[in-house]
Structure 1
Amino acid sequence: MDASIKSLLYSGTVIPAHPLALTADRQLDEARQRRLTRYYIASGAGGVAVGVHTTQFEIRWPQFNLYERVLRLAAEEIDKANLDRPFIRVAGIAGPTEQAVNEARIARDLGYHIGLVSMGGLKDYSEDQLVQHVAAVAEVIPVFGFYLQPSVGGRILSYDCWRKLADIPNLLAIKTAPFNRYQTLDVFRAVCHSERRDEIAMYTGNDDNIVADLLTVYKIPVNGKIVEKRFAGGLLGHWSVWTSKVVEQFNEIKANPLDAGLLSTNIAVTDMNAALFDPSHSFKGSIAGLHEVLRRQGLMEGTWCLSDHEVLSPGQAEEIDRVIREYPELTDDAFVRAFLEKDKI
């Protein structure tokens, strides 16, 4: 990994999870897909994660066969931007070991820096087999570990599992997204007890607790001493919308980590996330909720997903109306309007 990319990964940054733009007949909308990548670059994000849950795992299904294509589109737009700053390319990697290793090769060959390895759907794997699975991917590309919440296909993993994962030499970061404080603490304890603790960047994926996660210093007793570790940044589906404001907020947190007022902001962000991610319906509208905001802003044509069941839940549009009305300071409609004026397709 390039030294400037690794430095940014460790120091922390904003990494939106990249959505999938489709046409009304559920074909890839290449022009808007490319423009979404440009929007994240223009917003000041420090990277993008492509081929992840927000991009829809169905891109891997044979009838769609979009995995390599969407990774390539994002890579091409990043190349075209000719940035004078580091920008982290994260590739989502999923499926059984053979598939995951193949996806890692595709991502590496397209210039991606690190692979976010989902262990969702591997219910038949023991925890030791999951460790071997991640280690196999790490032989191909640096790894971003991923604790995915059970409600969207993940599973609860033990402290011992994370302790073994932390010792994999090419695992450079971990995204914790169990939406659970106990399980998040398990990961921090495991990393802090590893001799590799300073080689692993922690990223929040807990959309229900984003700001508080970024403000928290974990103080873990290790062999009679206190080891301090905190989230360096975030890799979040929530951050795929209102991204320019997210970057402003992230920079404020970095500059003022002791500002108690930011804890109130955390509540506002969690309220907005509830409208987007639809926890009252077991997160069924989580992808469609993001699409709805991007549709309203003109960044997407519609909320269509590859699967017919991925739609807004009853009352979700009204909840999005409410949070936009109540927290206008956390939206970036003006930024997007100015962006679209310059970025015609």
Structure 2
Amino acid sequence: MTDDAAARLRSGMVIPAHPLALDADGGIDLRAQRALTRYYLSAGADGLAIGVHTTQFELHEDRGMLQEVWSLAATTASESRAGRPEPMLVAGLTGDTADAVAEAAMARAAGYQAALLCPWGMTEVTEEALLDRARAVGEVLPTIGFYLQESVGGRRLGRTYWQRLFDLESVIGVKAAPFDRYRTNDVAQTLLEHDRWDQVALMTGNDDTIVQDLITPYRRTVGGRTREVRATGGLLGQWAVGTRAAVEAQTAAQEAAAAGSVPLELLRQGADLVDVNAAVFDVDHDFAGAVPGVNEVLRQQGLLATATCLGAADLLSPGQSEAIARARERHPGPMDEEFVASHRDEWLR
């Protein structure tokens, strides 16, 4: 399972971070939750990440609800394949080592092929604790490392940490999402220097520089030979909206990289996506409304009944809903407006 999952990640995958649909009473809105899964797969996504930040980390406080959400996504994905390759299901894991290992076992039983290691819920987020947890989880599922930006609960991680993480053969990928070019460079350069440089997939999680990450090669000469790595795909909260446009952009980036020439139109699309992301992720308020912002897009498009989140602090910021509406009007293509409107009722069946 590890080799297959690793090869698929390295080939370049679009993996949306799946939101959590809630009803007015705070329970799972099963109809909307299924509709979101159908949307992503209809849009051409290669996989789904459930239990991650966009799914709301508070979900992990209710193990029963977490298992229900994981199982629902797996079942709906299986029913919605329609001849397409099996989507890769990635489980977001939280908590200290014992909790993360228990969640990994649950996810594996539900049919998940990989785990994204999230720092939320850990007693102490030290590099040693993160490595111990990665090592233990790797005995249950192939793992994806995670460089999470500090404004939403991450911490700075040194190059030694990444070197030691890549030492683990169970690590098949790394999601670089520090929203910082220097720190993203730390991950890429450390991978280039490592003996497993061609076995670990570099994935973008930088929602503010998606296109740039997908087209930018990192190079290093090691032992007289030139090595090159690039984020061929990603696992992103931004891809939870505008997913069909994301698939098209990722394909265009792959083609541009293969041709060795980047069209200006692709760079323009990247700039448009940054404008969209500023509204959705609530940049004006230091990302406070990032998770409800994703939900609000889907609510305005008619896929969710509410943007409500489990966490009491996860609220839309003042003016954010209006900013999202303006972004939808300015950028209908990157927001999948026509695609969603055409298929919404089918997904909500």
Which range, TM-score by smaller chain?
A: over 0.9
Counterpart in 2 of 1:226? 226
1:259 and 2:251 matched:
no
> In terms of mean alpha carbon deviation, does 333-342 or 70-79 score higher?
333-342
Give the letter aligned to residue 266 of structure 1.
Answer: G
> In terms of mean alpha carbon deviation, does 325-334 or 138-147 score higher?
325-334
> In terms of mean alpha carbon deviation, does 157-166 or 310-319 score higher?
310-319
CA separation in 1, counterparts of 2:125 and 2:153? 14
Give 1:44 deviation, angstroms.
0.5
1:2 to 1:170, Cα distance in 2 relative to 1, 3 A: closer
TM-score by length of 2: 0.94
1:70 and 2:86 matched:
no
Which aligned pairs between 1:30-179 and structure 2 lie closer than 5 A? 30-62=30-62, 65-82=64-81, 83-122=83-122, 124-179=124-179
Which aligned pairs between 1:14-25 and structure 2 lie closer than 5 A? 14-25=14-25
- 3-state SS of 2:206 partner: coil
- 3-state SS of 2:227 partner: strand
Contact 1:5 1:87 in 2 (8 A): no
Counterpart selection for 2:334 from 327, 330, 333: 330
Please give the root-mean-square deviation of Cα atoms over the aligned residues, in Å. Answer: 1.7
Counterpart in 2 of 1:315? 319
Contact 1:147 1:154 in 2 (8 A): yes
Deviations 1:244-277 (A, max 9, x none): 1111121111122322412222221111101000
1:36 to 1:213, Cα distance in 2 relative to 1, 3 A: same
Counterpart selection for 1:287 from 291, 302, 324: 291
What is the aligned residue count? 344
- 3-state SS of 1:328 partner: coil
CA separation in 2, counterparts of 1:248 and 1:57? 29
CA separation in 1, counterparts of 2:320 and 2:125? 36
CA separation in 2, counterparts of 1:327 and 1:84? 29
Contact 1:49 1:91 in 2 (8 A): yes
CA separation in 1, counterparts of 2:85 and 2:209? 29
CA separation in 1, counterparts of 2:116 and 2:171? 10
Segments of 5+ residues of structure 1 without an aligned counterpart are none
- 3-state SS of 1:146 partner: strand
Contact 1:207 1:273 in 2 (8 A): yes
CA separation in 2, counterparts of 1:107 and 1:140? 10
Contact 1:18 1:240 in 2 (8 A): yes
Counterpart in 1 of 2:279? 275
1:310 to 1:129, Cα distance in 2 relative to 1, 3 A: closer
CA separation in 1, counterparts of 2:28 and 2:340? 22
- 3-state SS of 1:49 partner: strand
Give the letter aligned to residue 340 of structure 1.
Answer: R
Contact 2:2 2:170 in 1 (8 A): no
Contact 1:4 1:86 in 2 (8 A): no
Segments of 5+ residues of structure 2 without an aligned counterpart are none
Contact 2:48 2:89 in 1 (8 A): yes
CA separation in 1, counterparts of 2:112 and 2:32? 21
Give 1:3 deviation, angstroms.
6.4
Counting aligned pairs with the same residue, the percent is 42
TM-score by length of 1: 0.95
Give the letter aligned to residue 240 of structure 1.
Answer: A
- 3-state SS of 2:147 partner: strand
CA separation in 2, counterparts of 1:155 and 1:122? 12
Give 1:310 deviation, angstroms.
1.2
